[in-house]
Structure 1
Amino acid sequence: MTEQAWGEEFRTGNPELDERIRWTMADLVARVERTQGQLLQSEKMAAVGQLAAGVAHEINNPVGFVSSNLGSLELYVKRLFDLLTAYEALEQALPTDHPARIAVARARETAEIDYLRQDIPDLLRESGEGLARVKHIVNDLKNFSRNDEGEWQDADLNGGLASTLNVVWNELKYKAHVVRELGDLPPVRCIPAQINQVFMNLLVNAAQAIEGSGTITLRSGADDANAWVEIADTGKGMTPDVMERIFEPFYTTKPVGKGTGLGLSISAEIMKRHHGTLTVQSRIGEGSCFRLELPLVAAQPDENKESTP
């Protein structure tokens, strides 16, 4: 039933009461629409999680045999270089004008043996480092997509931030230099997948706020009551009016099609469920700093319940 139809059905003939009913119906319709949007976003995040888990699983197999082959290749290249060294010793025993020695010298020059001796180990090392990074990303994808929305755990916030940074690195690497100023944190009781979702939203927003290139600074620390994490950017910043509304569902300053306006509202809701806070400081032209705080010791009344963002 539409808002207008409800208004017609509950019309009383009292203009003041009818107006109150109309506004109540409008508020209810708006709340239903917001709830539908949040459910759609939750379903989308669940689908993304399933996709990430599937992708991680599919990548693991080729990464495994490529890693094994690369290790074998490194060993074989070493054997070939050792053999080449032995042949070079024999070459030196030949007279300088010997046809075989002259032919070997020409072949060495054509093949650029000295350059290959230096470059091949570098290529193998860089390939190994790249493969290690792929393994790390796959592991982070698996951790990020774990279906533990209802599991409260003692988590390492710095580790979760680093893991999420790897997951969204493609969004950041061409726009921002990331500075880490992370302090020592005690384990924090939370739902890691949900806190990682907050980190993801804040990191992506920080990158999108930067026009051209800039810096994203990650800080963390703890006091007697709370652990905190800050994600600051050198982006375009926000006006006070925008800051007052950024945690409202569906509010966005991004162009049409670039954002749903749900990321920060869901993040704020997650922090509320964790009895924590999410705040922001920002100035136009100077950037923004989002700070989340989680209690170190606090009762978790919803700990035994399923909880999804």
Structure 2
Amino acid sequence: VAHEINNPIGFVSSNLGTLGGYFQQLAAMLDAYHEAELRLGANETTGRLQRLREQTELEFLMEDIPILIKESKDGIGRVAHIVKDLKDFSRVDSAQQWQLADLQQGIDSTLNIVASELKHKADLVKRYQPLPPVECLPSQINQVIMNLVLNAAQAMGPERGTITLGTAHQGAWVCIEVADTGAGIAPENIKKIFDPFFTTKPVGQGTGLGLSLSYGIVKKHGGEITVSSQVGVGTTFRVQLPVKQSVTL
């Protein structure tokens, strides 16, 4: 899908660049015509040209067309960036194999994918510390981050909250934390949240599989995922992963 989208993005972007060049040439030609019109003075032909300039709002078009071209190029650039983020998120250019990955790049790509879900619910705060490359299945770790961030967004009440993403490096381990200022999780539910199909969301708003799948992915990586929460204050999920897969807990 990313490849199929990139093809039209490429030629539309190229065409917009060519169109911008053509317009500059036409603008220079129109300026030359206008200078010739002024030198000819008032007559029937120049009067008709003046009326045409007014009817077509030529001065407005000369100002607005470059703006429209620029906005269109910016829009195409944004689409290209989204496609890149989707590719980074899913790692479509890579086989599903263990590889060294930049986790923070994956986190940022994932945040761009879910940005529309967050923007009306919470402010995002990043507290990154430098991380080494981590041996992992990058698309699966991105899936874990997406599940945790979406859960954090859905935990927000009517008031806008804050979601904080932090990373840390501790010896042979890296740590990712997703903290929210949402409703919190009741103590009796804490032990159940990683169970398949368990959800506190209203019917139709959650399958109860996101955290269960995330738990399985983290365990497959030889890591740990834990949660701490206080009702009415917020929740923090902590994911701990080995830098190398030879490390065991």
Query: Which of 164, 185, 193 is equivalent to 2:139?
Result: 193
Offset, 1:147? 8.5
Alignment pair present for 1:122 and 2:67 = yes
**142-151 or 181-190: which moved more?**
142-151
Cα deviation digits, residues 68-118 of structure 1 (max 9, x gap): 2222222222222222222233234343x4444444444334433343333
Tell me the distance in 2 between the aligned counterparts of 1:179 and 1:115: 43
Offset, 1:270? 1.5
Aligned to 2:97: 151
- Partner SS for 1:245: coil
- Return closer, same or farther for 1:108/1:280 CA change in 2, 3 Å cut-off: farther
Q: CA RMSD in A?
A: 2.8
TM (norm. structure 1) is 0.69
Query: Structure 2 regions of 5+ residues with no counterpart?
Result: none
Alignment pair present for 1:260 and 2:207 = yes
Offset, 1:149? 7.1
C-alpha contact (below 8 Å) 1:220/1:227 kept by paired residues:
yes
Cα deviation digits, residues 260-307 of structure 1 (max 9, x gap): 212112212221222222223333333333222222355158xxxxxx
Cα deviation digits, residues 211-250 of structure 1 (max 9, x gap): 4544433332323343222223333222233333212222
Alignment pair present for 1:140 and 2:81 = no
Tell me the distance in 1 between the aligned counterparts of 2:96 and 2:2: 22
C-alpha contact (below 8 Å) 1:148/1:191 kept by paired residues:
no
Aligned to 2:196: 249
Counterpart residue identity of residue 74, structure 2: E
C-alpha contact (below 8 Å) 1:277/1:292 kept by paired residues:
yes
Aligned to 1:24: none
Offset, 1:153? 0.9
Aligned to 1:61: 7
Cα deviation digits, residues 151-202 of structure 1 (max 9, x gap): 1111000111122223333433443443434333221111112101101211
Counterpart residue identity of residue 144, structure 2: V
Cα deviation digits, residues 5-28 of structure 1 (max 9, x gap): xxxxxxxxxxxxxxxxxxxxxxxx
- Return closer, same or farther for 1:99/1:198 CA change in 2, 3 Å cut-off: same
C-alpha contact (below 8 Å) 1:149/1:194 kept by paired residues:
no
Cα deviation digits, residues 4-55 of structure 1 (max 9, x gap): xxxxxxxxxxxxxxxxxxxxxxxxxxxxxxxxxxxxxxxxxxxxxxxxxxx3
Query: Which of 50, 61, 71 is equivalent to 2:17?
Result: 71
- Return closer, same or farther for 1:238/1:103 CA change in 2, 3 Å cut-off: farther
**Percent of paired sites with the same residue:** 50
C-alpha contact (below 8 Å) 2:172/2:247 kept by paired residues:
no
Greater helix proportion: 1
Query: Which of 271, 275, 291 is equivalent to 2:238?
Result: 291
Counterpart residue identity of residue 17, structure 2: G
Offset, 1:129? 1.9
C-alpha contact (below 8 Å) 2:82/2:113 kept by paired residues:
yes
Aligned to 2:179: 232
Counterpart residue identity of residue 165, structure 2: L
TM (norm. structure 2) is 0.83
C-alpha contact (below 8 Å) 1:148/1:193 kept by paired residues:
no
Aligned to 2:223: 276
Aligned to 1:36: none
**184-193 or 153-162: which moved more?**
184-193
Tell me the distance in 2 between the aligned counterparts of 1:177 and 1:85: 49
Query: Which of 33, 51, 66 is equivalent to 1:87?
Result: 33
Offset, 1:148? 5.8
Name the larger-Rg structure. 1
Alignment pair present for 1:217 and 2:217 = no
Aligned pairs, number: 246
